[in-house]
Amino acid sequence: MFRSVRSFLAFSYALVVLLIVTILGASIQLLVEDRLRDGVDAGLEARGDRIAAFITSDTDIEISEQVRTLLEGLALAGQDEDVTYLRLYSPTGLVLLDAPPLPIEEPSRGELRRVTRSALRTAPAEGGGQLRVLTRRVLYEDQLVAYLQVGRDLSALNRTVSQLRTALVAGGVLAAAIAGAVAYALAYQALKPFSRIVEDSRSIGADDLDRRLPPSYGVREVNRLAQSYNALLDRLRTAFDLQRRFVADASHELRTPLTTIRGNLEVLLLDPDLSAPTRDALRQVSGETARMSRLINNLLLLARADAGQARPPSQLVDLHALVLETVSQARSAKPPVGITLGQEDQAFVAGDADQLKQVLLNLLDNAVKYTPAGGWARVSVYREGAWAKLEVADNGVGIAPEDRERIFDRFYRGERVPTPRGTTGSGLGLSIATWVVRAHGGRIGVESTLGGGSVFTVWLPLAKPRDKVMGDE
């Protein structure tokens, strides 16, 4: 539900504060309401007592006269500022006096009779609002001579309570908002070192495993995290080194026997007395050995690139000559795809001829691999401004759009499109090509339509006159 610790903390704090304020506010409101009602009740009891004490007769007429006189006296003395309703009943339930008229329904005789001494209740007033009503017996010489009802309007009290409630709700919401904001700010402050550690660790890529996080972030917990992260990087570095060394050593060791095998196969194939099946078998072995050689060269190059040892030396490389050489080498394997030459501009770049040849071989190898028999692959070299452009095009199976970004990743193989002749690969060719091209200050890209072929383009900066001098040396 929450995307960040910050919002979770802010929400929790705000909720807790709101809960506390609600409980506290409800208690305060109940207490205040109770106190105010007690005050009203005491006032009503006092008034009832006072009126009852004033009655010294047992006839209805005299009683009404006495009460009227008392009320007038009270009004004159200014003791009647709060409107207090009054209604007087005879013991049989007849209304003797209603001054000012009590705006509630008259009680039945039975109800009056059930009043033992006095009873307080809250009743809805006719025309809206609420009244607090005291009903009591009036005795004279221990005889029940009348029933008395005094009532007070509760709207002032209710208004006070509702104002208090509004103030408490507003205060509660404000307190919750402040608590949420403070919690958010505090959480932001507390989590800042974590954000820094995330930023720092993000900047450590696979290429610079020697870098480490700073040892101190000012917070103990974060420092511990940084130490663990650094220890993990140490272990990763060791594992990576071991793996790289293994790949480099293994590739290196495999290269020599493979060269011998290939050399011997070439010699064997020169024999004119070979039967056709033997020649075919030997050709197949030769083709597979060549593929294995390329794979091993790729692995060795990658291992060296990872070790940072494969910076291209600055020789002057004739790209046109390189293209001719690569095309003739690829043709000698008698592929089922026609390899042609397109544009043939003269272009010199500064770099490593072996590595650049590897790029061309990888691209051409793919063009042949992913083109059905009878198709074509075309290699061109252009000069364009300060750039040399190598292009390897084919009319093969093409590349699915979702694969186009990823085919340059190490070990990624597009398996959505079936390969003609069921050829397999390692997923390394294009990542090697990318690495070599970048190391030469260039870039590589592809345009492709599914089923309509692909065009791989490599841009390399043309050699400057200074490079030529260095190359000549």
Phi, psi of 129 (to 5 degrees): 85, -175
Closest CA to 346 of 385, 392, 393, 388: 388
Minimum CB distance to ligand ADP smaller for 158 or for 457: 457
Q: Is 150 exposed, middle or buried (0-12, 13-18, 19+ CB in 10 A)?
A: buried
> Binding string, 136-165, against ligand ADP, x = CB under 6 A?
------------------------------
Exposure class string for 43-58: b at 16+ Cβ within 10 A, else e: bbeebbeebbebbeeb
Minimum CB distance to ligand ADP smaller for 149 or for 326: 326
Q: Least Å distance between CB 366 and ligand ADP? A: 3
Contacts of 336 (CB under 8 A, 6+ apart): 368, 373, 374, 421
Phi, psi of 151 (to 5 degrees): -135, 150
Closest CA to 313 of 347, 348, 359, 353: 353
Minimum CB distance to ligand ADP smaller for 180 or for 375: 375
Minimum CB distance to ligand ADP smaller for 135 or for 454: 454
**Which position among 251, 355, 358, 454 is part of the footprint of ligand ADP (CB under 6 A)?**
454
Cβ atoms within 10 Å, residue 109: 14
**Tokens read off for 115:** 């009043």
Q: Least Å distance between CB 296 and ligand ADP? A: 13
Positions in 431-450 near ligand ADP (CB under 6 A): 431
Minimum CB distance to ligand ADP smaller for 43 or for 427: 427
Half-sphere exposure of 10 (CA within 13 A, CB side): 18
Positions in 354-393 near ligand ADP (CB under 6 A): 362, 366-367, 370
Size of the site for ligand ADP (CB under 6 A): 20
User: Where do we find the tokens 């099946």?
Assistant: 277
Minimum CB distance to ligand ADP smaller for 226 or for 407: 407
Positions in 62-81 near ligand ADP (CB under 6 A): none
User: Where do we find the tokens 């009943």?
Assistant: 89
C-alpha dihedral (261, 325, 443, 298), degrees to nearest 10: 0
Q: Is 262 in the site for ligand ADP (CB under 6 A)?
A: no
d(CA 118, CA 102): 17
Minimum CB distance to ligand ADP smaller for 312 or for 396: 396
Q: Least Å distance between CB 379 and ligand ADP? A: 12
Positions in 18-47 near ligand ADP (CB under 6 A): none
Q: Which residue is nearest to ligand ADP (CB)?
A: 425
Q: Least Å distance between CB 391 and ligand ADP? A: 12
Give, for 60, the enclosing helix (H) or strand (E): helix 60-76
Positions in 394-433 near ligand ADP (CB under 6 A): 394, 396-399, 407, 413-414, 425-431
Contacts of 185 (CB under 8 A, 6+ apart): none
**Tokens read off for 121:** 């209740």
Q: Least Å distance between CB 307 and ligand ADP? A: 21
Q: Least Å distance between CB 353 and ligand ADP? A: 21
Pairing mode of beta strands 348-351, 443-449: unpaired
Q: Least Å distance between CB 451 and ligand ADP? A: 10
Q: Least Å distance between CB 414 and ligand ADP? A: 3
Pairing mode of beta strands 376-384, 338-344: parallel
Q: Least Å distance between CB 400 and ligand ADP? A: 8
Binding positions for ligand ADP, rule: CB under 6 A: 362, 366-367, 370, 394, 396-399, 407, 413-414, 425-431, 454
